[in-house]
């Protein structure tokens, strides 16, 4: 039997699966409102995701994930709560903030249904219940992946891959991409994903940032749309 594989690899696949119940399939992250303004092509989707990864998901979500993971490793619960609150307050658009909280809470609920004995998972859920934390998705993912012994960089992979797949899935359902283009884009994004993880996962929480005003405006426009398929 090949010894290069272990149970953690299976957990990694499980958490990355688009069937993992966190509701990410229902998010377009502003793509739906962009598609109403402009006729989008394949290259626009790549660019849309790349800007998101470099300007938002990397410097804010991945940083929060890395810090949450380290907080669990060091048993530093106060730092975990700081990562949670810092990211929550950095999300300016209510719709995306709320979607992140919903997905994060469902992620914790799901993981705690099969890893019942991790104290930090329980403590974090209790903190959410008591109003001391929010459960934003990247921080919840940090707690969950640490609880499953998934290495930190690979937790970053789950974050970026999940985001890319959710936007690409939205593009497919909005009729912008066909199924092969979808896979081609995921393939092409590999260097951006790796670069974004390396740049951001060790970043201190005090240096967390995001800057994508165009995307923020798109997401605000999405909030105001009367007719929509996606929650963001």
Partner 1 sequence: MSSNRIPRVGIGGPVGSGKTMLIEQIVPILSAKGYKAGIISNDVVSKEDADRMRQNLATEKGLVPEELVIGVATGGCPHTAVREDPSINLSVVEEMESKYNYLDLILIESGGDNITTTFSPALADYFIYIIDVTGGDKYPRKRGLGIENCDLLLINKIDIAPYVGADLKIMERDAKIVRNKKPTVFVNSKTGQGVDIVVSYIIRDLLFEASPKTLVNN
The residue ranges that bind partner 1 (CB under 8 A) are: 19, 21-23, 25-28, 102-103, 105-106, 109-110, 169-170, 173-174, 226-231
Please, what is the minimum distance in Å from the beta carbon of residue 113 to partner 1? 10
**Cβ(125)–Cβ(108) under 8 Å?**
yes
Please say whether the beta carbons of 40 and 171 come within 8 A: yes
Number of residues that make up the chain: 232
Output 109 or 154, the one with its CB closest to partner 1: 109
Cβ contact 160:146 at 8 Å: no
Structure tokens at 169: 């899935």
Q: Which is nearer to partner 1, 41 or 129 (CB)?
A: 129
The Cα–Cα gap between 71 and 66 comes to 9
d(CA 49, CA 187): 13
- Match 């640490």 to its residue by tokens: 146
Name which of 156 and 169 has its Cβ closer to partner 1.
169
Q: Which is nearer to partner 1, 52 or 152 (CB)?
A: 52
199/228 with CB nearer partner 1:
228
- Residue closer to partner 1 by CB (options 51, 110) is 110
Instruction: Spell out a b/e string for 218-228, using b for 16 or more CB atoms within 10 Å of the CB, else e.
Output: bbbbbeeeeee
Helix (H, G, I), strand (E, B) or coil at 5: coil
- Nearest distance from residue 57's CB to partner 1, in Å? 19
Min CB(62)–partner 1 separation in Å: 22
Q: How far is the CB of 230 from partner 1 (least distance, A)?
A: 5
Distance in Å, CB of 93 to partner 1, minimum: 15
CB 18 → partner 1: shortest distance, Å? 9
Q: Rg (Cα) of the chain, in Å, rounded?
A: 17
DSSP assignment of 26-82: G--TTHHHHHHHS---HHHHHHHHHHHIIIIIIIIIIHHHHHHHHHHHTT-HHHHHH
């Amino acid at each position: 039997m090949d010894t290069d594989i272990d149970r953690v690899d299976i957990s990694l696949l499980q958490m990355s699966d688009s069937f993992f119940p966190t509701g990410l399939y229902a998010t377009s992250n502003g793509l739906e409102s962009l598609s109403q303004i402009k006729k989008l092509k394949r290259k626009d989707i790549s660019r849309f995701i790349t800007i998101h990864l470099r300007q938002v998901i990397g410097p804010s979500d991945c940083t929060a994930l890395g810090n949450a993971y380290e907080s669990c490793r060091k048993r530093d619960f106060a730092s975990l709560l700081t990562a949670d609150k810092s990211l929550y307050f950095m999300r300016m658009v209510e719709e995306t903030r709320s979607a992140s909280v919903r997905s994060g809470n469902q992620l914790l609920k799901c993981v705690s249904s099969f890893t019942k004995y991790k104290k930090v998972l329980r403590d974090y859920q209790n903190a959410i219940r008591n109003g001391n934390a929010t459960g934003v998705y990247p921080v919840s993912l940090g707690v969950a992946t640490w609880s499953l012994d998934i290495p930190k960089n690979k937790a970053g992979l789950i974050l970026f891959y999940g985001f890319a797949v959710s936007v690409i899935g939205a593009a497919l359902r909005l009729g912008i991409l066909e199924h092969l283009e979808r896979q081609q884009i995921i393939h092409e994004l590999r260097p951006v994903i790796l670069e974004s993880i390396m740049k951001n996962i060790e970043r201190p929480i005090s240096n967390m940032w995001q800057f994508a005003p165009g995307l923020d405006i798109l997401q605000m426009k999405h909030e105001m749309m009367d007719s929509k398929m996606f929650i963001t």
